[in-house]
Structure 1
């Protein structure tokens, strides 16, 4: 959190390591600091930060990055440079790996597919799944070659059924609060990833499963998917951001109605409410939302990666403040793309009438 008393913005930058006054961002391993100074009641607001990890998290992240991501063909077939074959996703009945992560290659390089794989537990959120997802988020956060992330399920007919109630039932009462807090932090970190995130909802997304999807930038569902924050049925409330993110997505009144009534809607109704961006007809293989998400990721992939990150930052921070402050945030974020090599490449490509080739520099 940053607290200042005057507004100062600088638009003159000589290198990408130069500092501007609004939020924090990392480009090519160098920390670019943007700091915003805000007047009055907007003087205190949440800044996007780049912080040093403590020893425990650093060790965990280092371990994660050293792991070899080799997956059986039945889970993720080798990605191909282009064509529908590269989009093919196969399911697995093997429950030994709760989370499968794939960094695509070829023309899809930069797209990361994070697949939840707990078929016997309907992809419910367990301690182990939270741990694995934390590791994945930390790894993606440090990788400046990532352009977009697709969060999906490897289990037919289910996205995520929410908390693992069987595991929860075995917890001592004193353990429940810390676990929910850790799950909430995970979902917040997912929402804070600097790259676009797309939730591909090919089945039921209930409770914490929908809260996870709500933390993503874009949601795509199949028409037959079921979505709902159903916690009041269990005499509790959404505890991982649902009461805050759902109203921001569909409006306060509609969010209250869905949460109070623990209502579940299908993909088409979710699209009508604005809960998801797109609802697609489910296919025979049960991965229509995933395929549509992959198409969208491919649309994002060729764009300037620093520009996309800065656009996400400006939108996420600007939506939480008044218009005047939001415009100042946009100005500061815009200033960060001015000294980049990508911007010069974009101008050169336009002049030479060719597709640009961006490197994230």
Structure 2
């Protein structure tokens, strides 16, 4: 069953993560996002993009830890080792997230529920983040599994909240409720329950009505100002992520989480 649906309305396209397994991102999700975002990037009729979750109360809960555990076991069996001095090349997820940041069209996250780990890293790729009130959390809890945010989180979070606060959040693996996320600057607006998509669509329509060349140039310049040196940081991040993923401690923690069906925040 497809995991990603795209609906166009005028100059705005809405990408909905419709059916991720238990709300988790996995390889199939990434592949469908890759195809969908590449198509939207090429479509000159689309001037703004909204991304939201299709599972009630879930944007994307986080990346599938079952898939990460399986990958770790497979690579360990093959004797794969990581040398931090030799950064890994970009992966499919890096290409997708990079496209969202680099396309000249504004991208807005309509966060309608849990957005942790890779789900929150997806939101961080978007230019604007609208979150609705509700009993869910956002953040990067990967350290609890003995790994780290490996899809841009360590490089993008400091740009939002500063190095000191980013360290506090990532070292503790602390996730926060929507009001604190707004206060910290993790999201731009907090709206009533059920209103995230509507508000994101309103903003997307506003941006789509503006001169597209000017919007694209502004996005490019502002992104470039914040991304100086980021390429090297992202390369090191994904390298050290794999180094941790292959460790005994991470494998034990992921296995325990998956075996006991724990929440990632309690891993």
**TM-score, scaled to structure 1:** 0.57
Q: Could you tell me which residue of structure 2 aligns to residue 139 of structure 1?
A: 39
Contact kept, 8 Å, 1:121 with 1:164, in 2: the verdict is: no
Distance 1:320 1:117 in 2: 31
Q: Could you tell me which residue of structure 2 aligns to residue 112 of structure 1?
A: 13
Q: Could you tell me which residue of structure 2 aligns to residue 233 of structure 1?
A: 144
Structure 1 unmatched runs, 5+: 1-95, 322-361
Matches within 5 A, 1:349-360: none
Distance 2:226 2:119 in 1: 24
Contact kept, 8 Å, 2:159 with 2:226, in 1: the verdict is: no
Residue 179 (structure 1) shift: 11
Residue 320 (structure 1) shift: 4.2
Deviations 1:297-335 (A, max 9, x none): 1221211111111111121123446xxxxxxxxxxxxxx
Q: Taking structure 1 as reference, are residues 319 and 239 closer, same or farther at Cα in structure 2, changes over 3 Å only?
A: closer
1:215 matches 2:122: no
Structure 2 unmatched runs, 5+: 83-87, 229-267
Contact kept, 8 Å, 1:180 with 1:239, in 2: the verdict is: no
- Structure 1 segments of 4+ aligned residues over 2 angstroms from their partners: 166-182, 318-321
Q: Could you tell me which residue of structure 2 aligns to residue 97 of structure 1?
A: 2
Q: Could you tell me which residue of structure 2 aligns to residue 189 of structure 1?
A: 99
Residue 120 (structure 1) shift: 4.1
Q: Name whichever structure is richer in helix by fraction.
A: 2
Distance 2:60 2:17 in 1: 8
Q: Taking structure 1 as reference, are residues 311 and 180 closer, same or farther at Cα in structure 2, changes over 3 Å only?
A: closer
**TM-score, scaled to structure 2:** 0.76
Between the two proteins, the alignment pairs up a number of residues equal to 218
Contact kept, 8 Å, 1:127 with 1:179, in 2: the verdict is: no
Residue 180 (structure 1) shift: 8.5
Task: Give the aligned CA root-mean-square deviation in angstroms.
Answer: 2.2
Q: Could you tell me which residue of structure 2 aligns to residue 202 of structure 1?
A: 112
Distance 2:167 2:40 in 1: 34
